[in-house]
């Protein structure tokens, strides 16, 4: 069991599985956030649902934990790579591993992580942390007020969009290579996963981009 956590293959496997947690987490997060462009009332209902549904209450921390593990192991692997030959996701001759995204996964990850910290400070800390940890009552409309105020600031909206498309590059490579590392590594399925990865990453990126553009345009 210890070899799983210490070996290169084991670490890559953990990175892949925890990356799948991120994939699900992003879809859940996007589906809730898109409600914000419908109406304040609809978003308040969505936030209330997230706050009271027992399945969501269990699912979100589990997915967030998987995300955290992904980040931690990415740092561990990168630091180790500085002392030895690079260790990346499992790669075959058909994987197109020489793409810009595959060569810069850690840099893209740092960009994503950096803005994630800023994003959490503006949203998670002012809502979930205050409610769940500090025990404060948060008005249902608070979420929409925060989103509207931040995304109406051009600098923040632009930085958010840049962050999302950095995430697009990260997901395009990470998605299919995660499935390859798990064992789906024949030529037919790798090609399919690469296509699915681009579709998934594009849907996520476009979806998250629509939200700041909506508020920045003054439609809200």
Question: Which CATH number covers residue 177?
Answer: 1.20.1300
> What is the per-residue burial (b if ≥16 Cβ within 10 Å, else e) of 136-163?
eebeeebbbeebeebbeeeebbeebbeb
Q: Considering the chain, what is the average pLDDT of its residues?
A: 75
Residue 178 token pair:
């995660």
Alpha carbon distances (Å) from 2 to 7, 76, 85, 204: 8, 16, 22, 36
Quote the pLDDT of residue 183. Answer: 61
- On the question of pLDDT at 25 being above 50, the answer is yes
Q: Is the pLDDT of residue 206 over 90?
A: yes
Instruction: Quote the domain boundaries for residue 17.
Output: 2-216
Read off the pLDDT of each residue in 65-89 and give the average, rounded to a whole number.
Answer: 67
pLDDT at residue 131 in the model: 62
Query: Residues, the chain, total?
Result: 220
Number of domains making up the chain: 1
- Phi, psi at residue 88, to the nearest 5°? -120, -170
């Amino acid at each position: 069991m210890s070899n799983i956590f210490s070996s290169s293959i084991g670490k890559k496997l953990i990175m892949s599985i925890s990356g799948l947690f991120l994939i699900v987490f992003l879809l859940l997060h996007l589906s809730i956030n898109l409600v914000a462009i419908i109406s304040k009332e609809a978003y308040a209902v969505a936030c209330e649902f997230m706050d009271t549904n027992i399945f969501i209450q269990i699912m979100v921390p589990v997915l967030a934990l998987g995300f955290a593990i992904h980040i931690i192991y990415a740092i561990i692997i990168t630091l180790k790579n500085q002392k030895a030959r690079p260790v990346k996701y499992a790669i075959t001759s058909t994987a197109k591993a020489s793409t810009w995204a595959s060569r810069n996964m850690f840099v893209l990850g740092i960009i994503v992580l950096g803005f994630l910290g800023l994003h959490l400070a503006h949203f998670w800390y002012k809502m979930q942390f205050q409610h769940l940890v500090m025990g404060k009552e948060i008005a249902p409309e608070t979420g929409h007020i925060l989103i509207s105020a931040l995304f109406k600031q051009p600098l923040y909206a632009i930085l958010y969009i840049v962050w999302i498309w950095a995430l697009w590059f990260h997901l395009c490579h990470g998605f299919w290579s995660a499935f390859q590392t798990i064992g789906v590594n024949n030529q037919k399925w790798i090609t399919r996963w690469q296509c699915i990865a681009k579709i998934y990453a594009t849907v996520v990126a476009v979806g998250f981009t629509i939200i700041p553009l909506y508020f920045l345009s003054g439609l809200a």
